[in-house]
Structure 1
Amino acid sequence: MKKILFIAIVFCLSIVSFYIIKNVKTNGIKIGKTIYVEKNAAYLESRFRWILNRLKDPETGKIPEGIRRKELEFAKTLPNDSEKGLKSSGTWVNRGPFNVGGRTRAMALDVENENTILAGGVSGGMWRSTNSGQTWAKVTGDEQLHSVTCITQDTRAGKTNNWYYGTGEIYGNSAGESFTAFYFGDGIYKSSDNGMSWSPIEATLSNTPQIGTDFDLTWNIAINNAVDTADIIYAALKGKITRSTDGGETWTQVLGGGAVQSYFTDVKITSDGVVYAALSDEGDKKGIWRSANGIDWTNIMPSSFCSTYDRIVIGLNPSNENELYFFAVTPSCGQASYTFSNEYEYASLWKYTYETGDGAGTNGTWVNLTSNLPNNLESNFDNLNCQGSYNMVVSVQPGNNDVVILGGTNLYRSTDGFTSQNNTKQIGGYKPGTNFPDFKIYENHHPDQHVLAFLPSNSNVLFSATDGGVFKTSDCLAENVVWESLNQGYLTTQVYALSIDENNENDVIIAGFQDNGNFYVNSSDPTSSWVMPLNGDGSFSAISSDGGTYYMSIQNGKIFKMTLDNGGLPTAFARIDPIGGESYQFINPFVIDPNNDNVMYVSAGSKIWRNDSLTYIPLAGNYDSISTGWFKMGVVGNYNSTEISALAVSKNPANKLFYGTIARKVFRVDSANTGDPIHTRINDSIIFPNSNVSCIAVDPRDADKIMITYSNYNTYSLFYTENGGKWWNKVGGNLEYNIYGTGNGPSCRWASIIPVGDSTIYYVATSTGLYYTYHIQADSTEWTNVSSIGNVVTEMIKFRESDGLVVVGTHGGGIYSTKLSDNAINNQVSDNQYVNLFPNPANGVINLEFNATETPEKVLILDINGKVIKSILHISKIQKIDLMNIPQGVYFCISQFKTHKEINKFVILK
């Protein structure tokens, strides 16, 4: 239970490290710059609630267990543009950020070729480099799960092409234990071609008879390289250690489990096959364990070890494998360290030396090194900070028993094995000595340490995986360690929000990233370097109509107005959110009136603030809220009393403000730019449990045409009106698992209605990728996936009418863009509808009318679980299919043409 409570409170401390200044360098030029720092930990609750409100099942208040796997399986049944031989007009290009890495928990060097590196983003997939990180190629397939949390290689002769990686981040993701949508894993993946392609191991997938959902959350994987006659693998899962002797085809629990299970686990194996494991204190099998055969275990934890311990990570000395270091978070026990979050955190470090026998008691020697952990240093940022077990690593340099490198938010090097504090130096993470109010990080490095790897041919060369990607130093023993970023083309950043210049045809994009600030680029070159004008958890942004003023925000509603130089760095700024604003969402919406640069609307809890003097606010360099131009719109008419989650302003006609809440309601405010007008609810006809309105998309040509998205699982996601909300149609179509919206359909985050000439294209950003349609046909609307983006979570869409630019932000794969073409759209509209299925719903029979020049080779009817119910050959131009003996439910009709397939969803009602 206590670990679940940690998720709501302690975990989010892992993100505090990002509310500091970064120094990102490109070609030796500093491109990051401090303009705001937050140290108030009150945002933690806000982040927790924001994620939960967006994704929870409204009926249960929880995110459905295993929903990531289920929604990806469902997504496989949906059409994509490559299958249809179509493109959603234009070519999608990944725009980066090319020079910014995302959160990385998995990294390893190839023992056969040390120039080959494999690294995995928490939600960005597996990446491979063959030139020591100078360039990268993604080796996770577009339709595969993009979660990677640990990796290992089989180093036995003749077996080195075999790699394994685990999925599912248990502690520290945007979801945590209670919110499993973003990074909940699904099994262990294996590569047999040296990491160039990957497939899931069948026995580790969810809902198989062997292991249930155990492998959805994997801490670590280790291989026994001492045995040639069997492929022995160990996996440290939430609650247990499991073992396979056949390369993962079958598994046996060998430690842990039981009625009460440990939350944190770790496993390491020596070169002669001795296994060490650590399990946190709430489990029945808690402690530090040793096994000579991986089956029979002995608890070797010393009696003087702290009685309360959370995560324990193991560091094996490669030069003397009888020596191991155990680095632990030990609440209220061990070394106290006062951190930048103004709280004490406790940790312990022990060195163990195996002597003889089972290694327990006098058969092993323990040395308590806890008092030598870094604390009471120049700055609270310098002190050891594991952030509630989020970031922890300990490693011994090969060939040098005295050099131990240990990581929390920072990276520390001890040259006497932490036998004293005298020979310890901070070599990464935050800049040594940094402090409020102007934080810095270590040059070309990043806080929050997860993995270390030494170059086999020269152990002074050290690779580091952090929440900012992958880094390398050529001399980890130098007096002043110098790092090199290896993030060029390692496209794993996690977008929350983005903006473009919607009025001027240029290449400017601003994107707010999880834990990585707001970044700017003004180039169409995908390899261009992005710069960071504003740090924090990047949030909503906007650009003035003349392109000269920029508005950027970070977590909890803090908004800045600024000007930028030609390189994207601030020349002047002011914080402008209103004095008195409160109860902001973690990623809080604001919007600028598209017809009037002076007017901004900002939500604050259940209230809306309006500023009608934006251009007159001076860039005074202030870090505090202001009153200039702000007016809190009052409680008038059918007003809202729940938190506001989405905002939109009409373009034609002007001055209509729309807003949605976390409790399904949508309101319109006419003449919103002046006075204190009435708020009118416009979606009374939509009645279902309280769901989060994640986006309100207004047609820029006609404000009566509106699409709204609900982001929760197990609720209907998409509604559309053409009369200002008098009547709403369900338009989720094939994106919904069933006609009620329950089941395994994706979470819909954003929608856009984009005019292209005389036509319209509709886009929806979802948790299984980006989808589009040219035809809104109520609940028969067919949405098609953009295959070049794949199934990665997409968060936001922005477009520019004048040149057809569309930009999409993903949570794990960076940013994509395309240019829409009027001719291409018209071609798609005329050719897209190959199959017309009617009636729908059906009762006993359906008719298929084929509009293409050819008829399909075969038609399959599948049930909701993908089972083939009926197969029809020799298809006529109008094909009648008898379904009298098929029960009521949701079904898929797949028409297989020579070059593509069409998928129609239909319902049988009896």
Structure 2
Amino acid sequence: MSIFWYYNQNEGIETSNKPISLTSENSETLKSKVKPKNSRQLFAQDRLLHEFNMQKNPLSGTIPMEEKQREFDNTLSIKQEGRSNRTTSSTYVSRGPSNLGGRTRAFAVDLTDATSNTLLSGGVSSGLFRSTNGGTSWTKVSANDEIHNVTALTQDPRAGFQNNWYYGTGEWTGNSASLGASYNGRGVWHSSDNGLTWAQLAVTSSVFESYDSDFDFINALEVNPVSGHLFIATVGSIYRYDGTNFTREQQSSGWTDVIIATTGRVYASLEGSGVWTSPTGNGSWTRIAQNGTPTAWASTGRIVLAEAPSNTNIIYALYENGNSNAIEADLWKYDLSTTTWTNYSAKLPDEPGNDSPGNDPFAIQGGYDLVVSVKPDNENFVVIGGTNVYKIENIVNDATFVRIGGYANNNGYALYSVGGVNHHSDIHALEFDPNNDDILYSGTDGGVHKTVDISAATIPWQSLNNGYVTYQYYHVALDPQSGSNIVIGGAQDNGTTRGGTDAGLADNTTMQSVFSGDGVAVAIGRLSTLTNYQLYVGAQQGIFYRDNNGYTDIAPANSNSQFVTYFYLDPDNNNNLYYAGNQTLYKTNSATTVTPTTWTNAGTLNTNENLRTFATTRGTYSAASSYMLIGGNNGSVFRFDDPANTASLSAAVNITPSTSSSGSIVSGLAIHPTNPDIVLAVYANYGINSIFLTTNATAASPTWTLVEKNLPAHSIRSAAITTVGTEIIYFVGTARGLYSNSDPVNNNWDLEGANTIGLAVVSSLAYRPSDKKLLIGTHGNGMFETTVEGSLSTKNFNKNTDLYSFPTPTLDVLNFRSSTIDFSKEIAYEIYSLTGKSVLKGTLNNKKIDVSRLNSGIHFVNLRAANTNHTLKFIKN
């Protein structure tokens, strides 16, 4: 959650948020463009409001959790039913980033592995990952067809039970319930095979009604090393699970935390209620801290706890104190043997020199990032995390905490870097290695890192983001050049990344950070040679730059912006660039040379709403036929004819679907690549009509058809219209995966990439008609791409082959004959009904398939092997 940003021309790989070398004059110029908040807590609120407004029911003003449940249930039904519309699913390949990581709150080292090579780590919107080689590579072990969300993780520490793991879901923001939360959870998940497979603890399953279950949001998990009971810190409660029953042990409101000493003594913190302890956690609770007791204790929000493994009497409490533009937390140490607290708040960091909001003094963004940990062999060696990570080696004698990660220093917002490896800001997890007291792991908004000597004078970090694909993209874009593999994306708190071997990267999953801050809209332009392309990048709240052999600030002078900066480059006419200044549209026909003062102000829509979503007709620009679609944050869709030449938005035509909802967010607009009359418009909010199709978009008053079909409860985040031959294939990205349909008026939508994309939030889609390339941006699992494949049809059956099936009609067995196909190789088959539903699949056995179980009627059989992909029609009697 960066307020400040720097752009980067460094050709290294992991360079997120790292500034280029600037002269002092250039540096001052850059800083003058930044629009900081008074505190990062307010900035975090902007992001939450952005996400809340995109999901809320515009009629009730709240996020209807029952709709989220229905969305999830619908998705599982669609997956179980199989493909009902298109008989072919495209093949989806990850584009990474494999070398960069995203927001991570949960991390643990496997106690059964004396080498510390087995690690588990969870992304807030990415799922759970497991490594068996110390982070050299990772495998996703949480199910793709479940919620992609992990916020807490623990292992049973008892000998003989350490194959049992638990992870919790749901990220609590600490804000009011009216705002909802960024990532609602679905309870607690359990593994009995050392983290390989997982099943939900059924009692914790949320039904997604408005805060219907405490298990919607889980802050921490711990297993008692004596009793084996699982303790769950949810929003407002501490629960104990004995393997059969759940018991609420403590209740308050807001943030909670729980830790357990090796003796089995349990400590719990509750926002508004202080710190409590129990010898076993099974009743007999005693409050040991609350506001005013001890004197000067003044918690205003989240409280996090840490035990000292070397002394079971010692714990630390770090809490939000409500300050702004000052140290934002207090730190206390408790000694059970004397029942006394010692206040060490004066030792929290406030570095000499200028203050940097959200960086120094010690900042925690309203509790968004707040963690404390104690070195296992030294009760006085403490490490804390907020926006940065700090250590104090002897809290009794040392004067203050020392910065060891996050931002480099308090003079700006470049990332901490030693030896060419960056650490990342916004610290959520700090875990010491159980086999080596000097090794510390961190989970941050930049993934997972490790340092091997926490006592060193200078702390270097190693990146463990190797196949830990957890980036949260808002927007993605393709290079307009056909065949190019260059891609770009704007990610939450991780700026803008560029990928592709054509951009000089090692492979197509490796990404390079090219701009920092919170990533926003992105674009790639091509105006001359194949090696000369331009990047259009930005950051939160209006920041907008062009990279054309050097970065240039091009945000329109005196313009305002929403949290996510929206701009749009016509993908086929790269001189035409548009910028959303809240309600005002700025435009230029000179994208490569425009300056802040040379934009044309095209005014506002007559509905006076913020501009959010854009699409333009594809192909060579024509003043007579080209147009732009504009979607707003109040549900409106406008057609702006000849946008390159028309001076004012006052000429735009309101073509909003009549059954859409006022106050909703237009999240995606897509225009057919060659037929400008065909348009898809989608809305993100829950509880409203969300997918509309028109086939006369250029008419004075287009006719829209609601085509939700089996997606009535889904939050629709993005849209694309693709073509293969004469077939039109529509795609929508949702909060629960990617879907396609070749006839949405009559047919249901099919889930795409079930085993790759899964149920990830598909926030952005970009399509290049010239080579059928579709780029998928997810908010939690990076990017995917595919070359769109058409549905199987009789028009392309049996090309370049003498493959035949017989007999037809057949009653029980379908045989095959061919002189060009090698039947000694393994050949997979899949049979589809006339409606396109998959009804049978397997491996060909002796050139035949048993079809006796099929219903009577026309079917299609597809045979696939290396260099073989053929389809035949047959009739089953």
TM class by shorter chain equals: 0.7 to 0.9
**Conserved in 1, the CA contact under 8 Å of 2:63 and 2:180?**
yes
Partner SS state of residue 366, structure 2: coil
Q: Could you say which residue in structure 1 is the equivalent of 2:349?
A: 374
Which letter does structure 2 place at the counterpart of 1:777?
Answer: V
Where does residue 692 of structure 2 map in the other structure? 719
Equivalent position of 1:40 in the other structure: 36
**Pair 1:666 & 2:641 matched:** no
Which residue number corresponds to residue 486 of structure 2?
508
Q: Corresponding residue for 2:801?
A: none
Shift in alpha-carbon separation, 1:157–1:61, aligned structure 2, 3 A? same
Q: Which residue of 2 aligns with 1:768?
A: 736
Supply the distance in 1 between the matched residues of 2:103 and 2:562 (Cα, whole angstroms): 23
> In the TM superposition, what is the alpha-carbon distance from 1:44 to its structure 2 partner?
5.5
Q: Structure 2 CA distance, aligned partners of 1:469 and 1:25? A: 21
Q: What secondary structure sits across from 2:65 in the alignment? A: coil
2:670–2:680 contact (8 Å) kept in structure 1: yes
- For the structure 1 residues 80 and 181, does the alpha-carbon distance in structure 2 shift closer, same or farther, using more than 3 Å as the test? farther
Alpha-carbon deviation of 1:789?
1.1
* Alpha-carbon distance change, 558 to 207 in structure 1, aligned in 2, over 3 angstroms: closer
Matches within 5 A, 1:88-167: 88-113=88-113, 114-167=116-169
| Matched residue type, 1:556 | Q
Equivalent-residue separation in structure 2 for 1:519 and 1:29 (angstroms): 10
For residues 533-562 of structure 1, what are the alpha-carbon distances to aligned partners after superposition, in whole Å with 9 as ceiling and x for unaligned? 111111111111335112112222322111
What SS class does the counterpart of residue 539 from structure 1 fall into? coil
Name the SS for the 1:450 alignment partner: strand
For 1:123-272, what aligned pairs fall within 5 Å after superposition?
123-171=125-173, 177-180=177-180, 182-207=182-207, 212-227=212-227, 231-246=228-243, 249-256=244-251, 261-272=252-263
Residue 634 of structure 1: how far off its partner (Å):
3.7
Distance 2:680 2:482 in 1: 26
Greater shift, 233-242 or 545-554, is seen at: 545-554
> 2:333 corresponds to which residue?
351
- TM (norm. structure 2) is 0.82
Name the CA shift for 1:43/1:395 in 2 (closer, same or farther; >3 Å): closer
Alpha-carbon distance between aligned partners in 1 of 2:448 and 2:317, rounded to the nearest angstrom:
24
User: Partner residue of 2:406?
Assistant: 429
The residue that corresponds to 1:551 in the other structure is 536
Change (3 A) 1:83 1:664: closer
1:74-122 Cα offsets, whole Å, 9 max, x none, are 2111147966797755421111001110100000001110211100000
Does the CA-based 8 Å contact 1:23-1:30 persist in structure 2? no
Q: Which range moved further: 57-66 or 521-530?
A: 521-530
The answer on whether the counterparts of 1:509 and 1:521 sit within 8 Å (CA) in structure 2 is yes
Any gaps of 5 or more consecutive residues in structure 2? Answer: 21-26, 799-831, 841-851, 864-877
Q: Which position in structure 1 is the counterpart of 2:361?
A: 383
Q: 2:412, 2:327 → 1: CA distance?
A: 18
Does 2:490 align with 1:533?
no
Q: Does residue 452 of structure 1 match 2:465?
A: no
Q: Residues 42-101 of structure 1: CA distance to partner in whole angstroms, max 9, x if unpaired? A: 766643443232111011011113554442222111147966797755421111001110
Instruction: Provide, for residues 364-385 of structure 1, a one-character-per-residue CA deviation record: whole Å limited to 9, x for no partner.
Output: 1221111111114345334311
> Residues 25 and 122 of structure 1: is their aligned pair in 2 closer, same or farther, counting only changes over 3 Å?
farther
- What SS does the corresponding residue of 2:203 show, helix, strand or coil? helix
Q: Deviations over 1:388-437 (max 9, x none)?
A: 11111111111123311111111111111254425x3211111134327x
Residue 827 (structure 2) aligns with? none
SS at match of 1:40: coil
Q: What is the rounded CA distance, in whole Å, between the counterparts of 1:345 and 1:93 in structure 2?
A: 46
**Kept in 2: contact 1:51–1:179 (CA 8 A):** no
Task: Check the 8 A contact 1:46/1:556 in 2, yes or no.
Answer: no
Question: What CA distance in whole angstroms lies between the structure 2 residues aligned with 1:371 and 1:668?
Answer: 60
Pairing 1:311–2:286 present? no
8 A contact 1:170–1:176 mirrored in 2: no
Distance 1:830 1:179 in 2: 54
Listed one character per residue, the Cα deviations across residues 221-243 of structure 1 (whole Å, up to 9, x for unaligned) are 1111113xxx4111111111111
TM-score (norm. length: structure 1): 0.79
Deviations 1:323-358 (A, max 9, x none): 1111111225xxxxx7xxxx2343211111112xxx
**Secondary structure in 2 matching 1:735:** coil
SS at match of 1:540: coil
- Provide the residue aligned with 2:340 in structure 1: 365
Q: Which amino acid aligns with 2:688?
A: T
- How far residue 782 of structure 1 moved from its aligned partner, in angstroms, is 3.4
Structure 2 partner of 1:870: none
Asked if structure 2 preserves the Cα contact closer than 8 Å seen for 1:606 and 1:640, the reply is no
* Counterpart code for 2:303: I
Post-superposition offset of 1:31: 9.6
Report the equivalent of 2:822.
Answer: none
Q: Which amino acid aligns with 2:329?
A: A
Once the 2 structures are TM-superposed, how far is the Cα of residue 212 of structure 1 from its aligned partner? 4.8
Greater Cα offset, 136-145 or 297-306: 297-306
Which amino acid counterpart does residue 588 of structure 2 have in structure 1? Answer: N
Contact 1:594 1:650 in 2 (8 A): no
2:639 is equivalent to residue 651 of structure 1 = no
Q: 2 CA distance for matches of 1:803 and 1:254? A: 60
Is the alpha carbon distance of 1:460 and 1:385 closer, same or farther for their aligned partners in structure 2, counting shifts above 3 Å? same
Among candidates 744, 750, 757, match of residue 718 of structure 2: 750
Residue 790 to residue 687, structure 1, CA distance change in 2 (3 Å): closer
- The equivalent of 2:658 in structure 1 is 685
Of the structure 1 ranges 600-609 and 263-272, higher mean CA displacement relative to structure 2 is found in: 600-609
Q: Deviations over 1:760-793 (max 9, x none)?
A: 2111000000000112325x44343331311110
Following the alignment from structure 1 to structure 2, what is the Cα–Cα distance between the partners of residues 579 and 354? 60
Output one character per residue of 1:187-210: Cα deviation in whole Å (capped at 9) or x when no partner: 01101010111111001112499x
Q: Which residue of 2 aligns with 1:299?
A: 287
Of residues 665, 674, 678, the one that matches 1:701 is 674
1:798 Cα deviation from its structure 2 partner: 0.9
Gap change, CA 1:603 and 1:827, over 3 Å in 2? farther
Shift of 1:632: 1.3
CA distance in 1, matches of 2:343, 2:486: 55
Q: Which moved more, 1:364-373 or 1:516-525?
A: 516-525
Which string of whole-angstrom CA distances, capped at 9 and with x for unpartnered residues, describes residues 715-756 of structure 1?
1111111111521111111111xxxxxxxx110011111122
Query: Per the alignment, do residues 187 and 49 of structure 1 end up closer, same or farther by CA in structure 2, a change over 3 Å counting?
Result: closer
- Answering whether residue 758 of structure 2 is matched by residue 790 of structure 1, we say yes
1:434 and 1:440 in contact (8 A); partners too? no
Q: CA deviation at 1:314?
A: 0.9
Q: Which residue of 2 aligns with 1:482?
A: 460
Gaps of 5+ in 1: 1-14, 333-337, 356-362, 564-570, 618-624, 737-744, 832-848, 858-872, 880-894, 900-910
What is the percentage of aligned positions where both structures have the same residue? 32
Q: 2: CA distance between counterparts of 1:828 and 1:733?
A: 28
Q: Partner residue of 1:273? A: 264
Task: Give yes or no for the alignment of 1:590 onto 2:567.
Answer: yes
> Compared with structure 1, are the counterparts of its residues 433 and 181 closer, same or farther at alpha carbon in structure 2 (3 Å cutoff)?
closer
Q: Aligned pair in 2 of structure 1 residues 521, 827: CA closer, same or farther (>3 Å)?
A: farther
Q: Equivalent residues in 2 for 1:283-294 (5 A)?
A: 286-294=273-281
Structure 2 residue corresponding to 1:328, chosen from 303, 316, 319: 319
Match of 1:417 in 2: 395
Return the alpha-carbon distance in structure 1 between the equivalents of residues 196 and 590 of structure 2.
Answer: 55
Shift of the 179–147 alpha-carbon distance from structure 1 to 2, 3 Å rule, reads farther
Q: Give the superposition deviation at 1:821.
A: 4.2
Q: Which amino acid aligns with 1:695?
A: G
